Structure 1
Amino acid sequence: MKTASGAQLDFGRLALLLVMLGVGWYFWYSPVFWPLKLLVVMMHESGHALATLLVGGSVDRIHLAADESGSCLSRLPPGMLRQIAVYSGGYLGSAVAGAGLLLATFRFRLRRWVLGAACVWLVVMGLLYAGDAFTLAFCVGTAAVMGIGAKWLPDGAVDFVNLFIAAFTALYAVFDLRDDLWNSAVRSRSDAALLADLTYVPAVVWAALWTLLAVGLLSIAAYRSLHARPQGLQMPPVGSRARRA
């Protein structure tokens, strides 16, 4: 299967992504994946924080909890659109992070840069905005692990870690929407409920909109990531003998 630009579907990448998605889904409730789930919660809260800064607000602090919940406390200038952007930034932020990781890992093969960027992000967020010792410890500790991995792991292991984080983040972004927004009991306490109070648009409508945007974004990123660019023909280097001829 080719795109209009001639890129071909890489069945090896597709198989690997499906395997990792399957592993993440099958062992979803395993305590082994608790750090990864908390990492995606941090992405969610970072989405709120980034949206706050983009609309001219300020972030006071971010809290993570061991039960995989989180909160971002911020101050916003007046305006409904600003509030809509900030309330939407969490769920869409984690979807954007998942899409970005898929592209960085599969499409651009950034390898150690992925872990290095994640390390810097966690340190900055932890030092600037961590509102409690647990959040700071998680951010700094996870950053240290990623930094060590970026420095010392062999290339193949770095690729494996990046691919699994990318797949798990994409899976969690969708599951997060399913659990938090399509469960009526949870939805009543979610960002969708805050927007419903603000706009009088029902929370389930916001849930549907965010789900469509997140799934669409992840689908586009996966499609782009799973299509390898054509390599084209490469001319051999001209040697000294050829130049003399």
Structure 2
Amino acid sequence: MRTASGATLDFGRLALLLLLMGASWYFWYSPVLLPVKVLVVMMHETGHALATLLVGGSVDRVHLQLNEGGSCFSRLPPGVFNRIAVSSAGYLGSAVAGAGLMLATFRFRLGRAVMGAASVWLAVMGFFYAGDPFTLAFCLGMALAMGLGARFLPTGLVDAINLFLAAFTALYVVFDLRDDLWNSAVRAQSDAAILASETWVPSIIWAALWTLLSLALLGVSAWWALHAKPSSGVKMPPMARARRV
């Protein structure tokens, strides 16, 4: 398949992404993947924190839990728009992170830069916003691991880790939307319920909106990331060598 710019679908990338997502799904309940799940929860809470800062509020603290729970306590300026932006930024923030990982690793080949940026992000969240010892230890431990990985791991292994994180994050976003927003018991205590009480728009409407936006964002980024760039420039034919007499 070819895009308007001439890029073609890279079946190797597609197969690798599907393989990594399949492996993540198969080992979903393995305790080995628990740190990665908590990492994606931090992406969710970081979305809330960033939106809070963007609307002029302040973040008090962020909490992570081993059961994949999380919370972000912040102070917001008054206004319905501010509450909508901050409440929506959790699930959409996770989708943005997954989309960014796919593009950075598949499309732009920014392996070490991605891992280094993740190290800085986790260190900032730990030092400035961690609200309990577990959150602080998790953020700083993961920041150290990613920082050392970006500095010392072979390029191939860095790329493999980033590709796995991209696939896992995309899969986790889909599962998170399914379990949190389309389970009525859980949705009653989710960000959608908070917005329903603030705006009088039913939580099921917010669930549908966030799901559609998240899946669209992941779909578009995957489409772009899985298409190889066309070769640029005009290639000149090789010049024939003059024969010696």
Q: Which TM-score tier does this pair reach, normalised by the shorter chain?
A: over 0.9
Distance change in 2, residues 1:184/1:123 (3 Å): same
In structure 2, C-alpha distance between the alignment counterparts of 1:140 and 1:207, rounded to whole Å: 33
- RMSD of aligned Cα (Å): 1.6
How much does 1:231 deviate? 1.6
The yes-or-no answer on 1:19 pairing with 2:19 is yes
In structure 2, C-alpha distance between the alignment counterparts of 1:94 and 1:139, rounded to whole Å: 17
Q: Any residues of structure 2 matched to 1:1-245 within 5 Å, and which?
A: 1-232=1-232, 233-234=234-235
How much does 1:152 deviate? 1.2
How much does 1:29 deviate? 1.0
Distance change in 2, residues 1:36/1:236 (3 Å): farther
In structure 1, C-alpha distance between the alignment counterparts of 2:155 and 2:130, rounded to whole Å: 32
So what's the TM-score if we normalise by structure 2? 0.95
1:14-40 C-alpha deviation (Å, 9 max, x unpaired): 000000010111111111100000000
In structure 2, C-alpha distance between the alignment counterparts of 1:98 and 1:235, rounded to whole Å: 40
So what's the TM-score if we normalise by structure 1? 0.95
How much does 1:237 deviate? 11
225-234 vs 114-123, greater mean Cα deviation: 225-234
**Number of residue pairs aligned between Structure 1 and Structure 2:** 240
Which ranges in structure 2 are unaligned for 5 or more consecutive residues? 240-245
In structure 2, C-alpha distance between the alignment counterparts of 1:235 and 1:42, rounded to whole Å: 50
Identical counterparts, % of pairs: 71
The one-letter amino acid of 2:70's match is: G
Which ranges in structure 1 are unaligned for 5 or more consecutive residues? 239-245
- Residue 223 of structure 2: SS of its match in structure 1? helix
In structure 2, C-alpha distance between the alignment counterparts of 1:141 and 1:237, rounded to whole Å: 54
